[in-house]
């Protein structure tokens, strides 16, 4: 069976520090968020796909990778990678939905927590459409050499971070409508650096 190469962990720090610095201080004040069953299952598959490309990841980095993926996917397709809700927090975007998905994966035995506190999986990847797997491969190529602090800075430089208050739910639909130019418009103007994911036959990239 083919096993894809994995990237060594980039976060050699104590797990309790990572968990503490990324979670809202008062969970009872968090927005009440949930996904329907299909969206939650897909989010779990996306997490497994990311984890399969590393030896292990702390939750903080998983959260930031998925947020990076949301921005990347919006810019490339005018759509979202997941339906997870995010709020701005001191240490970068945080999603209670992502945390719940990690808890579910651990309970199911598909993800383990190592002695150093990192999440890991022995699976070769998630059960995703080829199009989403392709997207995650591109996201991984862009981020695998970035530190978690660099991912946090990238998130804090985003329109989403700068236009929503701390612990206020970020509105990705507004971001896409107000900031992101739709792929078909980019195609019409002949953008020279157009990504293959923008090709007309991939227009419905995230709907399959």
Q: What is the pLDDT of residues 155-165, one digit of tens each?
A: 999 999 999 99
Q: How large is the average pLDDT for residues 106-135?
A: 96
Q: In this structure, is residue 9 part of a structural domain?
A: no
Domain count, the chain: 1
Q: In this structure, is residue 47 part of a structural domain?
A: yes
Q: In this structure, is residue 75 part of a structural domain?
A: yes
Q: In this structure, is residue 200 part of a structural domain?
A: yes
Whole-structure pTM value = 0.78
User: What is the rounded average pLDDT for all residues in the chain?
Assistant: 82
Kindly tell me if the per-residue pLDDT of 132 is higher than 70. yes
Based on the number of CB atoms within 10 Å of its own CB, is 77 exposed (0-12), middle (13-18) or buried (19 or more)? buried
| Containing structural domain, residue 162 | 15-25+35-207
Alpha-carbon distances, residue 20 vs 45, 48, 94, 193 (angstroms): 25, 23, 12, 40
Cα 82 from chain centre: 8
Based on the number of CB atoms within 10 Å of its own CB, is 80 exposed (0-12), middle (13-18) or buried (19 or more)? middle
């Amino acid at each position: 069976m083919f096993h894809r190469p994995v990237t060594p962990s980039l976060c050699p720090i104590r797990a309790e520090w990572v968990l503490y610095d990324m979670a809202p201080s008062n969970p009872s004040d968090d927005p009440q968020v949930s996904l329907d069953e299909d969206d939650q299952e897909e989010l779990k598959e996306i997490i497994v796909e990311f984890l399969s490309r590393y030896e292990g990841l702390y939750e903080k980095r998983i959260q930031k990778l998925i947020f990076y993926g949301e921005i990347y996917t919006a810019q490339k397709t005018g759509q979202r990678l997941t339906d997870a809700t995010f709020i701005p927090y001191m240490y970068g975007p945080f999603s209670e939905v992502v945390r719940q998905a990690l808890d579910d994966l651990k309970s199911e035995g598909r993800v383990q927590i190592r002695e150093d506190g990192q999440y890991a999986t022995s699976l070769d990847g998630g059960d995703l459409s080829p199009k989403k797997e392709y997207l995650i491969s591109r996201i991984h190529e862009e981020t695998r050499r970035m530190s978690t602090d660099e991912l946090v800075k990238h998130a804090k430089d985003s329109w989403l971070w700068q236009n929503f208050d701390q612990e206020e739910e970020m509105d990705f639909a507004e971001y896409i409508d107000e900031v992101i130019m739709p792929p078909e418009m980019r195609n019409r103007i002949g953008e020279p650096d157009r990504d293959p994911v923008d090709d007309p036959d991939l227009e419905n990239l995230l709907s399959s």
